[in-house]
Amino acid sequence: MTEQDRQEILSKVPELTLVFWIIKILATTLGETGGDAMTMSFLGETTAEGTGYGYLIGTAVFGVIFLIAVAIQIKAKKFHPAIYWITIIATTTVGTTLADYVTRSLGIGYAGGSALLLALVLLTLFIWYRTLGSVSVDTVSEPKVEIFYWLTIMFSQTLGTALGDWTADDVGLDLGYGGAAIVFGSLLLVIAAMYFWTKVSRTALFWAAFILTRPLGAVVGDFLDKPTERGGLELSRYAASAVLLIAIAVLVVIFEQKPAETGH
């Protein structure tokens, strides 16, 4: 098999390794601190009731970045780690601001926002499956599949943000950032155990894990930058975001990431 033939059967997403999941969690944490830095620090503090236009403006800004990043990713002929992770970060930041806008500015609350966003994730997966016959990430090698992939990821990142806020901050649950992190971390361990010791669909487990890493990152990000009276460390959102971005860049450079082999 020639190198060209090999590239033709490779996906434009990375293999699912431990490093992939570590970078994913760091990226989702960056999405929270970066999104908050834009809507709360740069554009001015917005209230829990969503007065002001911080969330909407932040969503518009990050939405444009997301669209540009996806366009570059789709145009690329093969897998490029830097392009892929920049696009992932774009989905986490727009997911943060969009979730805050839906749950706070629209006034439907964390439970309503989570339900709405879960419906959007499931609807996207359903349409993807009915259109192309599979929602497995090892089929992501063509533009049409990539569009479904990134749309699903964007909705899943938004859903994850709403879930994280719901469990950590909502009056009914109010687990705090530490308690919420333990809940989502434990659920991820359960999924990992199911991957190694059961025959549950690997595709279903991937999407479950992908969604759950987002609320884990969200509550960790909130823990880093929220006020101490609310249980956070009250670190600078800009500084926390910079440190997380550097950590991601270092991991991407140090650890070689190979494209996943497609199922074609």
Tell me whether residue 135 is in a domain: yes
Report residue 134: phi and psi, to 5°: -160, 145
The answer, as to whether pTM is greater than 0.85, is yes
pLDDT of residue 82: 94
For residue 247, what pLDDT band results from cuts at 50, 70 and 90?
very high
69 SS3 class: helix
* Domain assignment of residue 164, given as a range: 11-255
Tell me whether residue 245 is in a domain: yes
Query: C-alpha angle with apex 199: 154 to 28, nearest 5 degrees?
Result: 25
Tell me whether residue 129 is in a domain: yes
Cβ neighbours around 38 below 10 Å, total: 21
Tell me whether residue 177 is in a domain: yes
Tell me whether residue 103 is in a domain: yes
pLDDT of residue 162: 84
Tell me whether residue 86 is in a domain: yes
Which pairs from 45-51 meet CB under 8 Å and 24+ separation? 46/100, 46/104, 48/104, 49/104, 49/107, 50/100, 50/101, 50/104, 50/105, 50/106, 50/107
**Total residue count of the chain as it appears in this document:** 264
The number of domains in the chain is 1
DSSP class of residue 258 equals: P
The predicted-structure confidence for 145-168, as pLDDT tens digits, reads as follows: 999 999 999 998 888 888 887 887
pLDDT of residue 44: 61
More confident residue, 203 or 6: 203
Tell me whether residue 1 is in a domain: no
The predicted-structure confidence for 38-87, as pLDDT tens digits, reads as follows: 877 766 654 444 444 778 888 888 999 999 999 999 999 889 999 999 99
User: Would you say residue 5 has pLDDT above 60?
Assistant: no
Tell me whether residue 133 is in a domain: yes
User: Would you say residue 235 has pLDDT above 90?
Assistant: no
Q: How far apart are CA 233 and CA 224, in angstroms?
A: 5
The predicted-structure confidence for 103-151, as pLDDT tens digits, reads as follows: 877 778 778 888 888 899 999 999 999 999 989 888 888 889 999 999 9
More confident residue, 89 or 264: 89
